[in-house]
């Protein structure tokens, strides 16, 4: 009896849906409607992301005449200059090195807090998580320049050491590569911690209990179960930190000297300073391809989903 | 000591080490910010330690700095428009991506996250090259649309995550009872999506309000947003005024989401009663 009323109900419902379909001459989940819904975002992506990169790729073959002027006569001169002048490859290698160091440091330093937050029995865990999200709300420029108050000649460290008589002159801690990496670390650690934390949260805790009950020590259980299962999050964090560090502009600008400029600064100076648009476009495409290459390797082995989770999905 | 006891001891030390590193990381995250806030009240002429006394003079000076006030107003407007538009188009896109099946859906979901992964310098240059190629000037509209592009991935991801948890039978029930597509979305889907809508709007606001690198490329000549204004002030030197400005900005950008979150939490608590239990599909 119950079965038949259920069937009746289902039939009625289908009838109603059919009516909707008849009225509009559209099916309920019509692809045309979907395209209308995504149209604004799709147009934005086409005109502000896809088309610019395509035009930029074409621009790399344009001829540079003088500051701010170029002709559409096709040439390979920009690419030739990029591949022959060691100035550019030096910049690229330095940028990749700084990005890699930053990402690795983030991985090492970020794993501990992520693990701690996941494993702690502290009741106000949410507070620890909230504190990780708060930096995202504070302006990146402010977070970066605030390091001047710590490392600068009148910063906390120098003033404290001078007062204690340990040093007689302020230590030069700012405007070098170390300061740039420190600033990047400060900016990227929350990304890493959240990525690792999300993948730790996805682990079935009974697996660890099972490992322990089979005689694993806690160290073994961590090494054999927890660590491998959290690797996707760690890898996503590493990729994200690497890409964001290698593409940074503000941090080297504020915390580094002229010698610590990264590829992003080179692009900015080429375009806004020298007004050499074809070369600027070439450098942008190079950075895009190099970072895209690393992202492609990553997605080949890990897939996109972990990145999506890490970005807040 | 037995083997087991030694292992237990090791485990305890490992846990202590984890806790210690965690503490250090949190100190590392917040020490510079705390130092900036403290220094903004310093009476000294120079933007650094030691503290020579408590003073609010730098805030007073800030209130009379026209360049800063203009930049603040500009940024506020851009961020508000960005938040409103991004939330509207982002939520609708997330709805389509979750509910509908259409060709190219997978490609679109990947394309949507790209603005968050491509470095801002590249996005910045790309758009400039495009408008140079078609001989258009940099305008405010361009800057706002650029900010929307940067915020779209986050809003879509947040809305998508929430959308997946809302069962489609609710909407379909409304439809079968004669509601139009639009009113079923407005009356059923949207209220269930509210946490994602508010969260997405707040995030879009902060992304736009904070954006530095891309804004440096896109801003029309003579226009300063708050971050670019700070950057140009820093080119001279770090002054106590910048510390005060930083503190005000921190209060705004941390205060708004915190208050928003608290309001949201109390709202959902009130609504929890009498709401049918949601099953997770």
User: Mind listing the pLDDT tens digit for each residue in B255-270?
Assistant: 877 887 787 777 776 6
Mean pLDDT, chain A, rounded, equals 85
Ramachandran angles phi, psi of A66, nearest 5°: -150, 170
Percent of chain B with pLDDT over 90: 33
How confident is residue A171, by pLDDT bands cut at 50, 70 and 90?
confident
Nearest to B126 among A29, A244, A284 (CB): A284
Give the DSSP H or E segment for A70: strand A69-71
pLDDT computed for residue B86 by the predictor = 97
Distances (CA, A) of B15 to A116, A198, A205, A206: 8, 20, 18, 20
* Omega of the bond leading into A91 within 30 degrees of 0 (cis): no
Interface test with A, best of B2, B21, B126, B239 (most A CBs within 10 A): B126
Instruction: Output the CA torsion B226→B227→B230→B234 (10° steps).
Output: -170
**Which residues on B lie below 8 Å from A107 (Cβ)?**
none
pTM: 0.84
Nearest CA distance, B59 vs chain A (angstrom): 16
Partner residues linked to A71 by β-bridges:
A63
CB pair distance less than 8 Å for A38 and B97: yes
CB pair distance less than 8 Å for A249 and B35: no
The average pLDDT across B38-55 equals: 77
Beta strands A63-66 and A69-71 are: antiparallel
pLDDT computed for residue A23 by the predictor = 53
CA distance A178 to A171: 13
By mean pLDDT, which of A214-223, B23-32, B190-199 is the weakest?
A: A214-223
Structure tokens given for A51 = 């088309």
CA distance A108 to B41: 36
Q: Which residue has the higher pLDDT, B171 or A115?
A: A115
pLDDT computed for residue B144 by the predictor = 96
Q: Any idea where the domains of chain A sit in the sequence?
A: 85-310
Interface test with A, best of B3, B6, B29 (most A CBs within 10 A): B29
Q: Count other C-beta atoms under 10 Å from residue A162's C-beta.
A: 18
How confident is residue A233, by pLDDT bands cut at 50, 70 and 90?
confident
CB pair distance less than 8 Å for B154 and A44: no
CA distance A237 to A298: 11
Structure tokens given for B168 = 């489609």
Residue A154 forms contact with B (CB below 8 Å) = yes
CB pair distance less than 8 Å for A277 and B132: yes
Q: Which fold has domain B57-272?
A: MetI-like fold (1.10.3720)
The average pLDDT across B211-235 equals: 90
CA distance A244 to B157: 19
Flag whether pLDDT at A290 surpasses 60.
yes
Nearest to A281 among B28, B114, B129 (CB): B129
Residue A275 forms contact with B (CB below 8 Å) = no
Flag whether pLDDT at A194 surpasses 70.
yes
Flag whether pLDDT at B274 surpasses 70.
no
Mean pLDDT, chain B, rounded, equals 85
CB pair distance less than 8 Å for A264 and B254: no
**Which residues on B lie below 8 Å from A41 (Cβ)?**
89-90, 92-93, 112, 152, 156
A234: left (phi over 0), alpha (psi -120 to 50) or beta: alpha
Percent of chain A with pLDDT over 90: 36
Query: Complex ipTM, two decimals?
Result: 0.83
CA distance A245 to B101: 36
CA distance A43 to A48: 8
In chain B, the residue whose alpha carbon lies closest to the alpha carbon of A154 is: B48
Q: Name residues whose C-beta falls within 8 Å of residue A95's C-beta, 6 or more positions apart in sequence.
A: A246, A262, A263, A264, A287
Q: Which fold has domain A85-310?
A: MetI-like fold (1.10.3720)
CA distance B155 to B112: 10
CB A60 within 8 A of CB A278: yes
How confident is residue A7, by pLDDT bands cut at 50, 70 and 90?
low
pLDDT computed for residue A6 by the predictor = 58
Structure tokens given for A47 = 């005109």
Per residue in A75-93, pLDDT (tens digit) is 888 999 999 999 999 999 9
Flag whether pLDDT at B1 surpasses 70.
no
B179: left (phi over 0), alpha (psi -120 to 50) or beta: beta
Of A308, A252, A53, A284, which Cα lies nearest the Cα of B116? A308
Sign of the Cα torsion A186, A192, A193, A195 reads positive
CA distance B56 to B77: 27
**Which residues on A lie below 8 Å from B216 (Cβ)?**
249, 268, 272
């Amino acid at each position: 009896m119950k079965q038949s009323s259920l069937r009746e109900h289902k039939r009625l419902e289908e009838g109603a849906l059919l009516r909707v379909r008849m009225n509009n001459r559209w099916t309920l989940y019509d692809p045309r409607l979907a395209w209308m819904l995504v149209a604004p975002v799709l147009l934005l992506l086409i005109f502000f992301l896809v088309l610019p990169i395509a035009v930029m790729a074409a621009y790399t073959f344009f001829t540079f005449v003088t500051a701010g002027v170029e002709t559409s006569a096709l040439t390979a001169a920009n690419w030739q200059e990029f591949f022959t002048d060691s100035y550019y490859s030096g910049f690229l290698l330095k940028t990749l090195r700084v990005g890699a160091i930053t990402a690795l440091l983030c991985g090492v330093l970020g794993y501990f807090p992520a693990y701690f937050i996941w494993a702690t029995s502290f009741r106000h865990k949410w507070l620890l998580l909230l504190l990780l999200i708060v930096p995202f709300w504070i302006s990146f420029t402010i977070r970066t320049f605030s390091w001047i108050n710590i490392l600068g000649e009148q910063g906390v460290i120098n003033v404290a050491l001078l007062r204690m008589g340990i040093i007689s002159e302020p230590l030069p801690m700012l405007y070098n590569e170390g300061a740039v990496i420190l600033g990047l670390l400060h900016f990227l650690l929350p990304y890493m911690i959240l990525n690792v934390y999300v993948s730790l949260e996805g682990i079935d805790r009974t697996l660890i209990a099972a490992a322990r009950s089979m005689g694993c020590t806690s160290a073994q259980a961590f090494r054999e179960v927890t660590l491998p299962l959290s690797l996707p999050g760690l890898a996503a964090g590493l990729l994200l930190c690497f890409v964001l560090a290698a593409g940074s502009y503000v941090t080297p600008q504020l915390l580094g000297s002229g010698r610590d400029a990264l590829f992003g600064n080179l692009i900015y100076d080429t375009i806004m300073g020298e007004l050499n648009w074809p070369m600027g476009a070439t450098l942008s495409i190079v950075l895009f391809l190099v970072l895209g290459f690393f992202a492609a390797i990553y997605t080949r082995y890990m897939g996109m989903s972990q990145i999506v989770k890490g970005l807040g999905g | 000591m037995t083997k087991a006891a030694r292992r237990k001891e090791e485990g305890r030390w490992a846990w202590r080490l984890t806790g210690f590193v965690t503490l250090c990381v949190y100190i590392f995250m917040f020490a510079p910010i705390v130092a900036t806030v403290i220094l903004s009240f310093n009476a000294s002429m120079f933007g650094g330690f030691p503290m020579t006394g408590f003073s609010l003079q730098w805030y007073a000076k800030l209130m009379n700095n026209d360049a800063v006030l203009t930049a603040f107003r500009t940024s506020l407007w851009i961020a508000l428009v960005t938040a409103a538009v991004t939330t509207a188009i982002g939520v609708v896109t997330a709805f389509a991506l979750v509910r509908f099946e259409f060709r190219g859906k997978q490609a679109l979901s990947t394309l949507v996250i790209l603005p968050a992964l491509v470095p801002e310098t590249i996005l910045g240059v790309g758009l400039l090259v495009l408008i140079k190629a078609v001989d258009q000037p940099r305008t405010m509209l361009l800057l706002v649309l650029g900010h929307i592009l940067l915020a779209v991935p986050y809003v879509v991801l947040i809305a998508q995550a929430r959308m997946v948890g809302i069962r489609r039978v609710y909407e379909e029930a409304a439809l079968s009872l004669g509601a139009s597509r639009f009113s079923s979305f407005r009356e059923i889907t949207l209220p269930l999506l509210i946490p994602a809508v508010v969260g997405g709007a707040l995030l879009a606001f902060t992304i736009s309000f904070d954006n530095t690198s891309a804004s440096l490329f896109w801003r029309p000549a003579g226009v300063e947003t708050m971050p670019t204004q700070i950057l140009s002030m820093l080119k001279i030197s770090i002054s106590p005024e910048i510390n005060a400005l930083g503190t005000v900005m921190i209060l705004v950008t941390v205060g708004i989401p915190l208050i928003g979150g608290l309001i949201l939490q109390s709202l959902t608590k009130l609504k929890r009663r009498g709401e049918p239990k949601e099953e997770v599909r």
